[in-house]
Structure 1
Amino acid sequence: MLEKHRKKSKTSINCKVITVSDTRTEETDKSGQLIKQLLIEQEHLIVDYVIVCDELKEIEAAITKAVNDSKVEAVILNGGTGIANRDVTIEVVQSLTKKEIPGFGEIFRMLSYQHDIGSAAILSRAFAGVTNKTVLFSIPGSSGAVRLAMNELILPEIGHIVMEINKDT
């Protein structure tokens, strides 16, 4: 049944990539560049790419602009997912989400524990949800976390998720 759904799924998704960082630039944003590269390798389209400071209003504005753009089907944020005082990405994403996809964060933490950072995985607040027919993924900003989330979860399911979001319309 799952393979049947995947065969019906779109193979090219319009994506916006948002890096949340107080210090990164386009030249130093290895994680944002990696997300874009992995998406392009799978023939997804990058509609927009921005770097915003770890400030609630800036993150909210970038996400709101994306979910109000009819061309954007998926938003992938990286950075600001930890537990430091400055890490507010998850609070913003959750406040804008209509439906949570809890399995994303659960499985990401399990995979992180098993294949990447061990018990430090409990510090991750990776999150996914849906709003305004757009899927939102929020992942840590390290290259290892990006590679893990993209290869194991996001890329295999992004087309299926977008199909499910739009099947009732």
Structure 2
Amino acid sequence: MASLFVFYLIKGDSSRWQVAIGGIIVSALPLLLLIRKNNPFNLPIIFGFYLFIFCSIFLGSIASFYLHFKWWDSTVHFYKGIYVGIVGITLYKLWIPEQARNGTSRWILFLFVLSLAVLAGALWEIYEFVGDQTFTHTMQRGGNTDTMHDLLWGFVGGLIVAIYSFVRKQKV
């Protein structure tokens, strides 16, 4: 992302270098976790985050996949719902001691995972809206229809992982 920032800055493409700055900022988050001595996330979680950043920021915005492939946006939001749901299960296992997990209802885990995925979708849509109002003007070309499709696909991805967590958790 740093090299793309420099490339598009020199080229004078203000929309793309601003997107690259956003990519630099969000890509730094897992790197900050790696600096910690007790990183709570495993490598597949971190790799999944970078896959999301690559697909949404680089391929989606910079390489214009969002403009050329109508299905790309929905696919990325679906993946994000699945990814955040998996992160939700990881956080549940990290934050809740095993003795407490054994006494926790499957419905609580289901609702936690689904709610986290839906929250991530809402926050992403806020990010897209603010980005369009301030910098790019290309993130929500479909307006409210695009926003609702994005939220629904993120919900479906999160729902799949929430159902998985419900089925896998022991009955209380």
Q: What TM-score do you get using the length of structure 2 for normalisation?
A: 0.32
Q: Which structure would you say has the larger Rg? A: 2
Q: Which has the higher helix share?
A: 2
TM-score by length of 1: 0.32
